[in-house]
Amino acid sequence: MIARMGTGLVVVVLLALVAGAAGRSVGEPLHPSWPSVGFSAPYTYTVTGKDGTNATTEGFMQYAFAAGSNGWAMRMKTAEVGVCAVYAGALDMDPATADCTLLMLGSHAFPVPNAVFLMVDSHCCLINNTGNVANTWLDGFDYAGSQEWDGVPADVWTMQANQLNYYVMAANATSIEDSIAVGIFQPFHMMEFHDFTVGPQPADAFSTPDMCTLRKCPGGIMSPFDRH
């Protein structure tokens, strides 16, 4: 298991890598690419709020890009992070005792395609229409260099969109199962993988529960990765 880096260290490392990146080079390490068949991974999720404080929870992620099993499913043990905490607050619930799920459903999802749902315990709301859930979403990332990730050699890949997205692989990786972390810097989100396992995922992992409707989420939630 890779130990969690401090937020400040992550920021310094990423800025240094981006500043020093000079495009692709000979001997570039394995480019990250998620398998369409899918994967699952326990993960640690850390979100840094606008006030600079960190909130962390443990979760279980499933991904697939196949008919009937299509999208991201992120199930968290508590609702103490990011938009989970915002929704729990709007429901007058204690985020430390509620669980939270984010469903980012693709075009092949059933019964509701192309939608992002947020669930806290038995409550559910629609955040927005989903973005790219295809397994090619990492194709636009460029190699930004190598660094130590809490003392472990690692390779970092980045893509500048509306914010800086990053992906971390173990140095000299031979498989996507060597993934360490994925995240967004500004707003700051970090998901550290543990036991990344490639394989088919059950269709019900991406099914919208009966409790979900097209009710918009409260509290100004516009994206699953908003920072509040």
- CATH number, domain containing residue 166: 2.50.20
Most confident region among 1-10, 14-23, 156-165 by mean pLDDT: 156-165
**Exposure letters 192-212 (e unless 16+ CB within 10 A, then b):** bbeebeeeebebebbbbeeeb
The distance in angstroms from the start CA to the end CA of the chain is 29
pLDDT band at 33 (very low <50, low <70, confident <90, very high): very high
Residue 226 in domain: no
Residue 26 in domain: no
Model confidence, pTM:
0.84
pLDDT of residue 20: 44
Residue 108 confidence (pLDDT) above 70 = no
Q: Determine the Cα–Cα distance for residues 158 and 169; give it in Å rounded to an integer.
A: 11
Q: Determine the Cα–Cα distance for residues 225 and 180; give it in Å rounded to an integer.
A: 19
Mean pLDDT of the 143-161 span: 92
Q: Determine the Cα–Cα distance for residues 172 and 181; give it in Å rounded to an integer.
A: 15
Residue 109 in domain: yes
Residue 136 in domain: yes
Residue 22 in domain: no
Q: For residue range 4-13, what is the model confidence (pLDDT) as tens digits?
A: 444 444 443 4
Q: Determine the Cα–Cα distance for residues 188 and 6; give it in Å rounded to an integer.
A: 12
pLDDT of residue 106: 77
Residue 228 in domain: no
DSSP-assigned letter for residue 80? -
pLDDT of residue 27: 66
Find the DSSP H helices in the chain: 7-20, 82-90
Structural domain total, the chain: 1
Q: How many CB atoms lie within 10 A of CB 86?
A: 21
Q: Which of 165, 134, 118, 2 has its CA nearest to residue 64?
A: 134
Q: The domain containing residue 128 runs over which residues? A: 7-13+36-171+179-206
Q: How many CB atoms lie within 10 A of CB 53?
A: 9
**Could you tell me which residues come within 8 angstroms of residue 216 by beta carbon, excluding any fewer than 6 positions away?**
125, 126, 127
pLDDT of residue 65: 87
Q: Determine the Cα–Cα distance for residues 154 and 148; give it in Å rounded to an integer.
A: 6
Residue 111 in domain: yes
CA 18 to chain centre: 20
What are 170's strand-pairing partners?
154
